Amino acid sequence: MSSRIRNLLLACGALFSGALAVADGVQLGEFSVGATLPELIGTESASRFEGAVDADETIEWEIFVPETYDPEAPAGLMVYISPMDSGRIPEGWKDVMESSNLIWIGANKSGNRIRAARRVTYAMVAAAVVARDYRVDDSRVYLSGFSGGGRVASMVAPEYPQVFRGAIYICGVNFWGSRKPAELEAIRANRYVFLTGKKDFNRDETRSAYRSYRKDGVENVLLMDISGMDHRNPTAGKFAEAITFLDDD
């Protein structure tokens, strides 16, 4: 991981200290939200991201909130990093969010052609976007990504295990290598899914990262090696299986 990205992750730590106000009236279903960093986290905190995201730049996220959302039973949160320009929830996955009581959020213009520092920033502040208006179960804040998005997710989740309590790496994952994360014990307490397919060109690398997590003492890991699947997102059913593993105490 580059020092630039590491510094961004350190700066993001301030986003998760203290409670955020939650609005009484909320929007349900699928919609888009745009905001600048100063609007989300204040001018001082936003200045820490100078060079990654301009202060006057409006970042746009795609959100899906279950129709059954109830502030008295806070929802979990699934932050998704796409390899494409759109952060919209994949076809068929809305029912999974509904049945799992999860809010979905993915940034637009955060695909593989975007610099990693920007993608990291978008993913980290996504929780602040949702927390403005919705009550979120802190114990069920998860991170996922597909292909290059999975690689970025695997850079972020181990750096902030106290924020992201689990992750699903889909057909793309990086291992931390010789630079072990500072909070390895917290990582070991969380849960991680390595999802690939028999025809995925990243299959061997995904399986290797899974074994490396286990070698470093992370036991709450699941390898899903799906027969017939190539380099793509899984079916809604398989994604639901991965979430069930994350939710398992």
- Alpha carbons 150 and 192: distance in angstroms, whole number: 12
Q: Is the pLDDT of residue 8 over 60?
A: no
Backbone angles phi, psi at 65, to 5 degrees: -110, 125
DSSP 108-153: SS-STTS-HHHHHHHHHHHHHHHHTTS-EEEEEEEEEEETHHHHHH
Q: 202-231 pLDDT, tens per residue? A: 999 999 999 999 999 999 999 999 999 999
- pTM, two decimals, is 0.89
Q: Tell me the CATH number at 121.
A: 3.40.50.1820
Strands 166-170 and 136-146: what pairing? parallel
Scan for tokens 């060109």, then name that residue: 201
Range of the domain at 228: 3-247
Please tell me the predicted confidence (pLDDT) of residue 180.
86
- Alpha carbons 115 and 49: distance in angstroms, whole number: 13
Question: Cβ distance 98 to 65 under 8 Å?
Answer: no
Domains held by the chain: number = 1
Scan for tokens 């990243």, then name that residue: 202
Quick one: pLDDT band at residue 24, thresholds 50, 70, 90? Answer: low
- Which residues share a beta bridge with 226? 197
